Amino acid sequence: MNPAPEIATATAAADGMLPEVWRVDRVRRETHDTFTLELGPERPGSERAFEPGQFNMLYVFGVGEVPISISGDPRRRDRVVHTTRAVGRVTNVMSGLKTGGRIGLRGPYGTPWPVAAAQGRDVVLVAGGIGLAPLRPALYAILHRRNDFRNVVLLYGTRSPGDILFRQELERWRARFDLDVHVTVDRGAPSWKGNVGVVTTLVQKAPFDPRNAVAFICGPEVMIRFTAAELQRRGVPLDDVHISMERNMKCGIGLCGHCQLAGVFVCRDGPVFPYSRVADLVTQWEV
């Protein structure tokens, strides 16, 4: 038999691994496999600011903890919004949480989208699938100070029309005159009258000035690589392309070692990186 595990002797105040209790205020089904949780702190005063692109570690009792990007408006500090896909053990149980349920939360962690650095320039947001969720806070921040930016373009690709996330919001955004929204699907449907094809095909005709644009990309890694290549072909320097990366994370704070990508800790040095910093790593196999 294994000996009983030793007990940690740390004090709570110093322990970055100890979650706080948050309340599930609202659960919204987004698509057949994605959902949004709106969380409020159980203990008053636990409200916290976050920057677009940051993530929290969410803990489901008895199941485990996973890193999930924040998908809500950064101006709302009284609640935290997470949108994710039920894909693994933790997120599947999480998708079954009900209003009034409890969840553990640590964060926010990680580097943000460089929204301020995009001021005075064109902004191109490219999202693939659930990758729209981590980009949404950046779009909220940009729209909140819309006059500080030049052209703002959102290019969004999903597998099928049924996988389109935040559909009503996308339609509202598309109705705006100060925002270019283009959506494409990999596979159409009889009722779909929009673009069909991968999201990279939208890059070439999108209205932005490649010499004065900043791009934020979030999606599967293969989509990131091809999108960055397309942006580079249009003349956007790779220093102006920022991506959000995903890796296995057990701690979110640089201790567990799981998210290492060569010399980079994705949790601490990322998840948002200038593409120029990680291009060599994500274009090689199994780094």
* Minimal distance, residue 69 CB to another protein, in Å: 14
Which CB sits closer to another protein, 79 or 268?
268
Q: Which of 225, 234, 274, 277 binds another protein (CB under 8 A)?
A: 225
19 binds another protein (CB under 8 A): yes
Contact between 245 and 271 (Cβ < 8 Å):
yes
Contact between 186 and 196 (Cβ < 8 Å):
yes
Buried b (16+ CB within 10 A) or exposed e, 142-164: beeeeeebebbbbbbbbeebebb
Which CB sits closer to another protein, 142 or 242?
242
65 binds another protein (CB under 8 A): yes
Which CB sits closer to another protein, 18 or 117?
18
Beta-strand relationship, 213-218 and 122-128: parallel
87 binds another protein (CB under 8 A): yes
Q: Distance between CA atoms of 212 and 221, rounded to whole angstroms? A: 25
* Minimal distance, residue 46 CB to another protein, in Å: 12
186 binds another protein (CB under 8 A): no
Q: Distance between CA atoms of 57 and 258, rounded to whole angstroms? A: 14
147 binds another protein (CB under 8 A): no
8 binds another protein (CB under 8 A): yes
Sequence-distant (≥ 6) Cβ neighbours of residue 280 within 8 angstroms: none
Contact between 115 and 36 (Cβ < 8 Å):
no
7 binds another protein (CB under 8 A): yes
Q: Which of 1, 11, 190, 191 binds another protein (CB under 8 A)?
A: 11
Q: Which of 43, 46, 49, 61 binds another protein (CB under 8 A)?
A: 61
Q: Which of 100, 168, 175, 191 binds another protein (CB under 8 A)?
A: 100
Sequence letter at residue 82: H
253 binds another protein (CB under 8 A): yes
Indicate the DSSP class of residue 120. T
- 21 C-beta neighbours (distance < 10 Å), count: 13
Q: Distance between CA atoms of 239 and 69, rounded to whole angstroms? A: 23
Q: Which residues bind another protein (CB under 8 A)?
A: 2, 5-12, 14-21, 59, 61-65, 85, 87-88, 100-104, 222, 224-226, 228-229, 232, 238, 246-248, 250-251, 253-258, 260, 262-263, 265, 268, 279, 283-287
